[in-house]
Structure 1
Amino acid sequence: MILLRFPSESETPILASRSTPYKSAASITASTNSDHYDSFSLNCPHVADANNENVRIEVTWTLNETIWLKIEDGEKKIYNRLTTFSKRIVAGKTVLRVLLNNGRYFFDYDELTGDFAMEIRPVQVEEDAGVWQCHVTVYQKGNTHTLTSRSRSTVKKYLVI
């Protein structure tokens, strides 16, 4: 049987500090009736001051360093296997929901709340295995800060005999 392995909580650092008020986390949902994962979600670093009109945000989601989706200032710049794309503007900030890869990959981009995330549902081992990352770049008052969801968020295949 083939299983996915996601990092344990001890391998999943929460990113936060006084100078960079950002944090991120990941989770999985396993089926109780089988040996596979139903979903995988990855929360990007939260941007506390995202709703500030002087803040520009760029978010990039990657699998094994290959870009799946890149959003710059509310516009999709790079995308892979686009299924649907919905966009709305609220109080001058962009809120997006992007589905890729036949609708299995959900990406949420919300400049209003500063929350950015992805979810894979259902997980397909052969296609989804690898290192998933979310990179958030914040541009504000001439300064640039880039944060990564985690150094390694690996989905691995294991053969259990």
Structure 2
Amino acid sequence: MKTVFGVLLFALASISASAGEADWKLRFDGLGPLTIGMPFDQANQAVGKIMQRTPKELRGNPYCDYIQLPGSRIALMFVDDILGRVDLAQSGGSDTGIAIGTPDSQVYAAYEQVYKSKRAYADTGANLTVRAAKDKLAMRFEIEDGKVVSLSSGRADLVKLDEECL
């Protein structure tokens, strides 16, 4: 009976966390209840304790852990167990209304200074990066065929990486 009740509670928590994700907007400093600089345990609590650390011996870099939230479009990068970057793919958007599928012209219209760079592993498309005015934070919009295909935000040094963890 306790096992059934525990499974039911976990399922309900997962459903409510997923439902809440639909309203989460990407900001320079995080996404929904997640804030850049948050320790892993606090971030895990914020998403309903659904994350599992990757064992250090299985990571390409023992100090960096890249975790896809289960059943989600959201991935989180932790460096030294501190949230450093948030990635969105397939759906979702920013607090300025830039979302997956938005034309790149709207990125330029939404932000004063947009830096364009070539994508590291693709012959087409671009990365459009915006730095936060006062912080060491940035937001990146990956562009393919003139439309946003993914968004990232967090520490500027991590947002500029095309890789998950180096």
Same fold (TM over 0.5): no
Compare the two structures and name the one with the higher helix fraction: 2
TM-score (norm 1): 0.38
TM-score (norm 2): 0.37
1 or 2 for the larger relative contact order (CA 8 Å, sep ≥6)? 1
